[in-house]
Structure 1
Amino acid sequence: MNAIKYPVNSHQDDEERARRSVWESGDWLTAAQIITLAEMSDYPLRVQPDVWKKKGIIFAIQRGGAEYFPGYGLDHADGFRPLLALTMVTKILAPHRDCWGMAVWFGTRNPLLDGLCPQDLLELEPNNVIAAALALANGQSLCE
């Protein structure tokens, strides 16, 4: 008996591959891990990363029933608080991308950043990362 072959939704496959790649190459932390790293155990309800997310200062992705925050967007020298550049880019991209879309954007090589990933330049070249996000928000397809 011959197996029936169904057409593959290549867009869906591409999206899943991009998510898997971002997850595997990224630096993702749970709220509990951030709280521990930042020594925030005395914070009421231990929810500071969740508060940041609600205020649009940072984004989080869902995976396996848990929520993960981008560790690459945290300033290790400032108590693991979100980098200003991450906050600005999150606010710029929020109307255009869901959280996974932002994660993929941060983890994808960008021609406006000399082929480097935005997540790798957040601390070194924050203004360039912000400019690349603005270009995407303004409809310049070159950013992808």
Structure 2
Amino acid sequence: MILYLDFDGVLHHDDVRLDLHNRPYLRGSGTLFEYADRLTQVLAPYPQVKIVLSTSWVRVKRFSYAVGRLPVELRQRVIGATWHSRFMLDDELLDWWLNTATRYEQIIRDVRRRQPQQWLALDDDAEGWPDSASAHLVCCDSRLGLSESRVCRELEGRLAEFHRIGITGEGGTMQATGVGRPHCAKALTTKNRARVAAMTAKAKYAARNGTRWFSSSELLAQAKLQGLLTIPTPSEWTTHRRMFAIDLDGEPRFPAYGLDPLTFEPFPAMAAILDILEGRDAWFLAVWFESVNSYLGGVCPREVLAQDPIRVISAAQNEAAGIIHG
């Protein structure tokens, strides 16, 4: 059995924000994950229950971070999430996820992929849930979450019922969902996949050709040519998250726009941006720096990084989503 678990409005008050250092904090009353132990207690009689995270924490802060904030008893049950970073490379799926899909549609997409015998969702978002699937939702008050005894009793009752069904063999995956394929969660056709692949390739091409990408040897050569006393250490930049590199022709290459032309060292703002966009891969970063950004007035982040690093840092915070909810 799978439990689809939301964080905000379930394990704590729903009013969660990100501070200037991209760290989640609770603006509402209480503390983060203050009700997690209650969930641990409710699940204790059911060791077979696994957890799939259905929270936007996975998208905003990455999967490993979200899992790591849970108590160890819950952490050991987690087998995945409804969100996956590869969605960032699929424009159609990403647009559906961010702008169209309800929480129910996100969950049911995962249900169809995993095909669990039984499943249940613990969430504070009941929008879009059809009556035929209402037995699979335990809905919390966004302010109270699992602190409300009514919710705990309902969750206990649903778990016991699903456990009984599992033992007797009644029901099943499709009977349990009680719904057909949601119209928004359409499968990508071969044509759509080809279009998305072409768009991804086009974005990567623009990122690759929009600036010069230095190899480590080229950076050392440039430093020597200018007589710099401090020699750049590109191998340490990525290790300490001061710079990112994409793989070109089998070796890491570093973007010229991220380097101070006088010292050939990364601009200090790069470390802040990489911290904010933690979890994004190198090609995502390359495409983001090369893409027109409405927050920056229609220019690319790479074009203004040297002149106005604070604005680019703010644009990165906007990209990472200033408000976590879910």
Aligned length: 131
The secondary structure found in structure 1 opposite 2:292 is coil
User: Counterpart of 2:204?
Assistant: 19
Q: Of residues 245, 250, 256 in structure 2, which corresponds to 1:65? A: 250
User: Counterpart of 1:119?
Assistant: 302
Is 1:80 aligned with 2:264? yes
Alpha-carbon offset, residue 134 of structure 1: 0.6
User: Counterpart of 1:52?
Assistant: 237
Alpha-carbon offset, residue 42 of structure 1: 9.2
User: Counterpart of 1:3?
Assistant: none
Alpha-carbon offset, residue 103 of structure 1: 0.4
CA contact (8 A) 2:273 2:313 kept: yes
Alpha-carbon offset, residue 130 of structure 1: 0.2
User: Counterpart of 1:137?
Assistant: 320
Alpha-carbon offset, residue 80 of structure 1: 0.5
Amino acid at match of 2:274: T
Is 1:105 aligned with 2:288? yes
1:56-115 deviation line (CA, Å, top 9, x unaligned): 0000001221211011110012x10000112211221122x1000000000111000010
User: Counterpart of 1:35?
Assistant: 220
The answer to which structure has the higher helix fraction is 1
Amino acid at match of 1:36: A
Identity of aligned residues (%): 31
User: Counterpart of 2:277?
Assistant: 93
CA contact (8 A) 2:237 2:243 kept: yes
Q: Structure 1 residues 41 and 35, CA, compared in 2 at 3 Å: closer, same or farther?
A: farther
TM-score by length of 1: 0.82
Q: Distance in 1 between matches of 2:265 and 2:316?
A: 21
**Structure 2: where are the runs of 5+ without partners?**
1-189
The secondary structure found in structure 2 opposite 1:75 is coil
Q: Distance in 1 between matches of 2:285 and 2:312?
A: 13
Amino acid at match of 2:276: I
Q: Distance in 1 between matches of 2:232 and 2:303?
A: 27
CA contact (8 A) 1:35 1:41 kept: no
RMSD of the alignment, in Å?
A: 2.3
Q: Distance in 2 between matches of 1:22 and 1:99?
A: 11
Q: Distance in 2 between matches of 1:76 and 1:90?
A: 20
**Structure 1: where are the runs of 5+ without partners?**
1-5
TM-score by length of 2: 0.38
Larger Rg: 2
